[in-house]
Structure 1
Amino acid sequence: MLRLEYDREGLVETDGVKLGFVKRQATGDLKRYKQSSEPVAPRPAAGAASS
């Protein structure tokens, strides 16, 4: 679980929270971070024989 706290500045940020923009942005950022930080399984070399 992630808890995000920040000070809203103005009407635009307040409305953005009400419309769910902040939550969607944070969720997307976390998914992209997870994908970039997970190890990638090595691929077999091109033309390599499989068993």
Structure 2
Amino acid sequence: MLKYVYLICDRQGTLKHMNPEFISAAFLSFSLIFVGIGGGFLLLKLQGGEE
């Protein structure tokens, strides 16, 4: 999927000078951020249910 996104952006000329590694790192970073936010909400829900 990342290769497909890279090819679409490359055709538009927006990511001509960016490495695929940069796109992979950005995707991983956002994934980890969303996992952290989801885990935080889950912990808040669990703590709220105990009270």
Q: Distance in 2 between matches of 1:15 and 1:29?
A: 21
Higher relative contact order (CA 8 A, sep 6+): 2
Does residue 30 in structure 1 map to residue 41 in structure 2? no
Segments of structure 1 that go 5 or more residues without pairing to the other structure are 43-51
CA RMSD of aligned residues (A): 2.5
Q: Among the aligned pairs, what percent are the same residue?
A: 8
Q: How many residue pairs end up in the alignment?
A: 40
> What letter corresponds to residue 18 of structure 2 in structure 1?
G
Q: Distance in 2 between matches of 1:13 and 1:24?
A: 14
**Greater Rg over alpha carbons, structure:** 1
Name the TM-score, length of structure 2 as normaliser: 0.54
Segments of structure 2 that go 5 or more residues without pairing to the other structure are none
4+ residue runs over 4 A deviation: none
- Show CA shifts across 1:1-51 (max 9, x none): xx33320222x5133134x11111000000000010121253xxxxxxxxx
Name the TM-score, length of structure 1 as normaliser: 0.54
